[in-house]
Amino acid sequence: MKLKCLIVDDEPMARKGLEEYVRDLAVLEYAGSCENALKAKEFLQQTAVDLMLLDINMPHLTGIEFLKSLQNPPLVIFTTAHPDYALESYSLDVMDYLVKPILFERFQKAVHKAYEYASLKTSTIPAPDFFFIKCDHVFEKIFFNEVLYIESMQNYCIIHTSARKLIAYITLSGLEAKLPPARFMKVHKSYLVNLEKVTALDGSDLFIGKAQIPVSRNLKEDVMRRVMGDNLFKR
């Protein structure tokens, strides 16, 4: 296993030095480098990485602010010329905090820690196929495969499953952020669906059994692609 590694630093020489370190370690795969957090955010929207070497003092957005803005950040090693942020950085669960100039031996030790953590996580913790959610003072266990679709009611959501309806005090956006994106998709401002449960598409609506669910106009093509993929038989 190799960790795909992204370098984020506003100093060209620092980026070059870190790239050389990354390429010298067999457990790392160089994914790219960005000169600021805004470009890094765009990069992460297009490419998945396992580890980020992140500077702190950068223009526009600091490394700490950037990390706090990410919903599902990769593993992070801070690389900075300033030791003052160490305490705050560890509260963000970063793997390590390296102060420039960074010796290769110290860099290798930090990477080894990140690699061991990633290996342990992937080998011993299977992805759950269920979640718990509080409904009317009770924590209900719901399997992903049970969920048909989820309907928004202002600050509440109605979770429609194959056997029951559950009302939970959570926003649709809050649920969307926690459910696996490979299985669930927001198709309308008020609806989140289990893609595997879609039984038909008709114009601007989709169907899950007898339930008819509207699809936003700007999402129609994405919904059709996600639901049908290459499984559309044409004449």
pLDDT tens per residue across span 154-185: 889 999 998 999 999 999 988 988 898 889 99
The tokens of 165 are what?
A: 């309806």
- 10-49 per-position pLDDT tens digit: 999 999 999 999 999 999 999 999 999 999 999 999 999 9
Distances (CA, A) of 55 to 24, 66, 83: 20, 10, 12
- 83-114 per-position pLDDT tens digit: 877 667 767 889 999 999 999 999 999 999 99
Give dist(CA 45, CA 21) in Å, integer: 25
The tokens of 32 are what?
A: 């790219």
Would strands 147-153 and 156-161 be described as parallel, antiparallel, or unpaired? antiparallel
Q: Does domain 130-228 have CATH number 3.30.43.10?
A: no
Give dist(CA 99, CA 206) in Å, integer: 54
- The CATH architecture assigned to 3-124 reads 3-Layer(aba) Sandwich (3.40)
- 45-74 per-position pLDDT tens digit: 999 999 999 999 998 899 999 999 998 899
Peptide bond before residue 101 is cis, with ω within 30 degrees of 0: yes
What are the beta bridge partners of residue 192?
150, 186
Q: For residue 121, what pLDDT is reported?
A: 77
Residue 115 and residue 29 in contact, taking contact as beta carbons nearer than 8 Å:
no
What is the chain's length? Answer: 235
Whole-model pTM: value is 0.54
- Is the pLDDT at 126 greater than 90? The verdict is no
Same CATH fold assignment for domains 3-124 and 130-228: no
Instruction: Name which residue leads in pLDDT, 177 or 144.
Output: 144
* Beta-carbon-side half-sphere exposure of residue 57 (alpha carbons within 13 Å): 11
Give dist(CA 60, CA 165) in Å, integer: 46
Would strands 211-214 and 130-135 be described as parallel, antiparallel, or unpaired? unpaired
Classify the C-alpha dihedral 62-66-68-74 as positive or negative.
negative
Residue-range domain boundaries for the chain: 3-124, 130-228
Give dist(CA 148, CA 183) in Å, integer: 11
Which band of pLDDT confidence, cut at 50, 70 and 90, is reported for residue 82? confident
Residue 70's contacts (CB-CB under 8 Å, 6 or more residues apart) are 41, 44
Residue 172 and residue 150 in contact, taking contact as beta carbons nearer than 8 Å:
yes
Nearest to 223 by CA among 204, 66, 156: 204
